[in-house]
Structure 1
Amino acid sequence: MPELPEVETTRRGIADHLLQSSIKEIIVRNPALRWPVPADLSQQAANQRILSVRRRAKYILLELGTETKATGTILIHLGMSGSLRILTEAFPAEKHDHIDLVLQNGIRLRYRDPRRFGAWLWIAGNPLTHPLLAHQGPEPLSADFNATYLADKLVNKRTAIKQLIMDNQLVVGVGNIYASESLFRARINPTRTGMSLTPTDIAVLCEQIKATLLEAIAAGGSTLRDYVDSDGKAGYFMINSYVYGRAGQPCRICGTPINQLRQGQRATFYCPQCQN
């Protein structure tokens, strides 16, 4: 599933093509996504200008409006296999191309989703109060996510730290790949409980979560199976991963074989020597 770096890479790739452009129509070829695409989505969006292209957690928000007021927001989630491409009408739709947002200038934003687990929804009011967004934690790259905040959230927490930092109500967007990588860089064993972390551990972990995500964004994200960016390119962060997907291979720091275990139905990778 695309995580925060992949979604942010996608947002940056489409933003310049969409900002201040007017929508001609939205063509919905298959409305059966994770939640049904609203039947009136094209009617709501037609002739509206795209005022902003934002990201909140793993959602992309297209704020629409006129010259005088905002009218609504299209909320997009890529699901497990979704991608957004900027194309022209010269590219015919294929089997899994479910939605085209067509601009007045002919450019189209095409949504491809083989597994159909993503979403395109219309929000008339403040999008941040929508049930999908209202209870999300702070953005990990924001000033709100810091050592003081994290220390407060880890008090008396007996849950493993890796599962805690993957909880979107604690902090958004730190998915499985980046949780394993951040914990390695912070030299923290993923099985340690939240309450066992020292103030120094917490400060370093916050720093490494931010650094890992920024490095991943710069690398265009990570591609395991389906993800491509808005230009159709795969992300290459995983080429230099320290632990994720490297079970049995030597640690890049100490040479100890990387271990793999299951936590919360997800694979966790770590170095038993570097992370203790």
Structure 2
Amino acid sequence: MPELPEVETVRRGLEPVMTDTVIESAQVNRPDLRWPLPVNMSERLTGQRVVGLRRRSKYILCDLEGGETLLIHLGMSGRMLISGAQVGAFAHPHPAPEKHDHVVLNMVGGARITFNDARRFGAMDLAQTSEVDSHKWLAGLGPEPLGNAFSEDHLVARLKGRKMPIKSALLDQKIVAGLGNIYVCETLYRAGIHPARQAGAISERRVRSMVPIIRQVLEEAIAAGGSSLRDFRQADGELGYFQHNFDVYGREGMTCKTQECQAEIRRIVQSGRSSFYCPACQR
């Protein structure tokens, strides 16, 4: 499932094509994705100017001039693809419609934004912009890891006394928003912390050290266009490349990348998810 860097990469790709541009027509090809789509979605989007694109956790928020916000979640296989516009060095003509093109936004000026989702685990909803922070998908989310509210003091306070594994704690969206399995594995490797360590038993010094590491991992991933493992594509259709820089994720049985460490990367399953780590470097 796309994590924060993948969603942010898509948002940045959409921004120059959608911001300050009117949706000439909205084509909604089915009544639902993971959940039912908003009532009269096509009519509510058509004619609206996009005044801004934001990201909250793993959601893209498309603010409309009329006072509503379109919330978009990519799910496991959802893609927001641009055609009919120049995106960086790439210009893609409009492709032939595909079976899983569920929502199509035709923008004034000729660009087209297509939401394609083969597995239909993605989701869209419309909410009043003034109330979007209290939407059921966003209410209760922790601070953004790249924002000022995510501080060393915040993480120390939220992990204090926690008996859950540190891997599970960092995946808790109420503690910090947007982190997923890949980037938590990479963070814990760089921090030298075993994923099964009890969160509340980690020293304050080591907890504090994780905050800049989390930011560094995410910023590097965003710069690389995210990670393409199965379905993820950027908005221009290109792959992300951070998977080529993984230190531990997906490297079970391979030699640790730390200089002079000859240990093999191991995998354990925590809450149904694979955790990759170095048994020598992570304690």
TM-score between the two structures when normalised by the length of structure 2 = 0.94
Contact 2:3/2:178, CA 8 A, preserved across alignment:
yes
SS in 2 for 1:17: helix
Aligned partners of 2:265, 2:104: CA distance in 1, in Å? 43
Partner residue in 1 for 2:104:
100
Contact 2:101/2:116, CA 8 A, preserved across alignment:
yes
Number of residue equivalences: 272
Aligned partners of 2:2, 2:26: CA distance in 1, in Å? 24
Aligned partners of 2:22, 2:106: CA distance in 1, in Å? 9
Instruction: Work out whether 1:242 is the aligned partner of 2:238.
Output: no
Q: Give the CA RMSD over aligned residues.
A: 1.1
Deviation at 1:96, TM superposition (A): 1.3
Partner residue in 1 for 2:125:
121
Instruction: Work out whether 1:21 is the aligned partner of 2:21.
Output: yes
Q: Which of 123, 143, 148 is the equivalent residue of 2:153?
A: 148
Q: Which of 103, 111, 118 is the equivalent residue of 2:115?
A: 111
Aligned partners of 1:235, 1:8: CA distance in 2, in Å? 12
Q: Which of 270, 274, 278 is the equivalent residue of 1:271?
A: 278
Instruction: Work out whether 1:256 is the aligned partner of 2:259.
Output: no
Aligned partners of 2:239, 2:215: CA distance in 1, in Å? 22
Deviation at 1:19, TM superposition (A): 0.6
Aligned partners of 2:222, 2:121: CA distance in 1, in Å? 23
Aligned partners of 1:223, 1:27: CA distance in 2, in Å? 28
Instruction: Work out whether 1:33 is the aligned partner of 2:38.
Output: no
Deviation at 1:42, TM superposition (A): 1.5
Q: Deviations over 1:151-204 (max 9, x none)?
A: 101111010001000011110111000000000001111111111111210111
Amino acid at match of 2:244: I
- Structure 1 spans left out of the alignment, 5+ residues: none
Identity of aligned residues (%): 43
Aligned partners of 1:35, 1:24: CA distance in 2, in Å? 25
Partner residue in 1 for 2:205:
200
Instruction: Work out whether 1:74 is the aligned partner of 2:79.
Output: no
Partner residue in 1 for 2:63:
63
Deviation at 1:44, TM superposition (A): 1.0
Contact 1:83/1:228, CA 8 A, preserved across alignment:
yes
Q: Structure 1 segments of 4 or more deviating over 3 A?
A: none
Aligned partners of 2:238, 2:107: CA distance in 1, in Å? 23
Q: Deviations over 1:194-230 (max 9, x none)?
A: 1111121011111111100000000110111000000
Contact 1:8/1:55, CA 8 A, preserved across alignment:
yes
Aligned partners of 2:214, 2:249: CA distance in 1, in Å? 15
Q: Deviations over 1:119-146 (max 9, x none)?
A: 1111124211111101111000111111
SS in 1 for 2:67: strand
Instruction: Work out whether 1:174 is the aligned partner of 2:179.
Output: yes
Deviation at 1:102, TM superposition (A): 1.1
SS in 1 for 2:64: strand
Deviation at 1:106, TM superposition (A): 2.1
Deviation at 1:90, TM superposition (A): 3.2
Partner residue in 2 for 1:224:
229
- Structure 2 spans left out of the alignment, 5+ residues: 85-92
Amino acid at match of 2:53: V
Deviation at 1:31, TM superposition (A): 2.8
Q: Which of 90, 96, 99 is the equivalent residue of 2:94?
A: 90
Amino acid at match of 2:37: V
Aligned partners of 1:57, 1:24: CA distance in 2, in Å? 28
Deviates more, 1:159-168 or 1:103-112: 103-112
Q: Deviations over 1:232-257 (max 9, x none)?
A: 11111111211000001000111210
Contact 1:189/1:270, CA 8 A, preserved across alignment:
yes
